[in-house]
A and B are shown apart, each in its own frame.
Chain A
Amino acid sequence: MADIAMLGEYDSVLLAKSVGIEAYGVSDKTEAAKLIANLAKEGVKVIFITEALYAACHEIIAKYKALPLPAIIPVPSSKGTDGTALRSIKANVEKAIGVDILSEK
């Protein structure tokens, strides 16, 4: 079993395949959610997921947020980034500290 998996549109994940990451081309939300659950059960440690899917599947991803493994990390797709990942960092800051201290700078 590979340690790292990548989920996303076929275009974006094919590149990951070449460096030895298990790549899954999915674009459907429910399919992706199912896949995440399966991968987590199988013990995949890091799951990269393209931002659009990350935003779509945030319910299932929230389930794994409090666990040390797997780490589910949003990455930009071939269309570039739409800021979902940075927004989630900001959300983290707000959750922990109460105010967003990153965007001031």
Chain B
Amino acid sequence: MAIMQVKPTRMELQNLKKRLKVAVRGHKLMKDKRDELVRRFMKLIRRNKELRESVEAVMGEALKKFVMARAKMSPHDIEEALAYPTAQAKITTSVRSELSVRVPVFEVTLSDTEGLIPYSFANTAAELDSAIIEFSQLLPKLIELAEIEKTCNLLAYEIEKTRRRVNALEYVMIPQLEETIRAIKMKLDENERGNLTRLMKTKEMLNKK
């Protein structure tokens, strides 16, 4: 590791020592942060995978029914039936801080299933009804999935960033500082020895006279 380009003075040594202290402390904190982030991430990602698998299964079913309904009805009819939905899915969002990573929190408010179907049953296929009901029941899960998946995304990004910083401190910054400090110390010691011998020499010469 290359040492830094600094003058070998006592003042510089002091400064470098201070910087080393900060770097070591920062490294420890960063490492703790990284470990905690990974722990939380692991917990979430498993939930994420489970949720995604179940959502995909249910949604596949609902969509299959919908496709059946489409096959039974004319495109015009289906369009008409769904043209003006009565339900409105609303979500309120807030931002939570997960180890100073800002992650969103979604809360969904749904209208109840009774008012969900906006068409009369006369011209529509039965599959359409059940597809819509299934899908609306799925919605809270879908939103939860959105929240967790987004959180995982953000955590992964933060973990990567933190890990880079930890590594940079551990393998570049700290060794460089340590080596520079050592080099300055040796240089100063060398000067000290040089000075001492010079003094001894002059004293000897003075004594001889």
How big is chain B's contact interface, by range? 35 or more
How many interface contacts (CB-CB < 8 Å) are there between A and B?
A: 141
Residues of A within 8 A of B91 (CB): 3-4, 45-46
CB contact between A46 and one of B67, B117, B132, B143 (< 8 Å): that residue: B143
Q: Is the CB of B89 within 8 A of A4?
A: yes
Q: Is the CB of A92 within 8 A of B152?
A: yes
Q: Mark A1-33, 1 if CB is under 8 A from B, else 0.
A: 011100000011011111111000000000000
CB contact between B78 and one of A4, A14, A93, A102 (< 8 Å): that residue: A14
Q: Is the CB of B116 within 8 A of A19?
A: yes
Q: Is the CB of B45 within 8 A of A16?
A: no
| Interface residue SS majority, chain B | helix
Q: Is the CB of A81 within 8 A of B60?
A: yes
Beyond A15-B131, A68-B102, A69-B104, whether A96 also contacts B66 by CB under 8 A is no
Residues of B within 8 A of A21 (CB): 89, 139
**How many residues of chain A get a CB closer than 8 Å to chain B's CBs?**
38
Residues of B within 8 A of A18 (CB): 82, 85, 87, 116-118, 132, 135-136
Q: Is the CB of A45 within 8 A of B106?
A: yes
Q: Mark B167-200, 1 if CB is under 8 A from A, else 0.
A: 0000000000000000000000000000000000
A69-B104, A96-B41 are known contacts; what are 15 more A-B pairs with Cβ within 8 Å?
A4-B143, A14-B79, A18-B132, A19-B87, A19-B116, A19-B139, A45-B104, A65-B153, A71-B104, A71-B147, A73-B146, A76-B60, A78-B64, A85-B56, A92-B156
Measured CB to CB, the residues of B under 8 A from A are: 37-38, 41-42, 45-46, 48-49, 52-53, 55-56, 59-60, 62-64, 66-67, 70, 78-79, 82, 85, 87-91, 93, 95, 102-104, 106, 110-111, 116-118, 131-132, 135-136, 139, 142-143, 145-147, 149-150, 152-157, 159-160
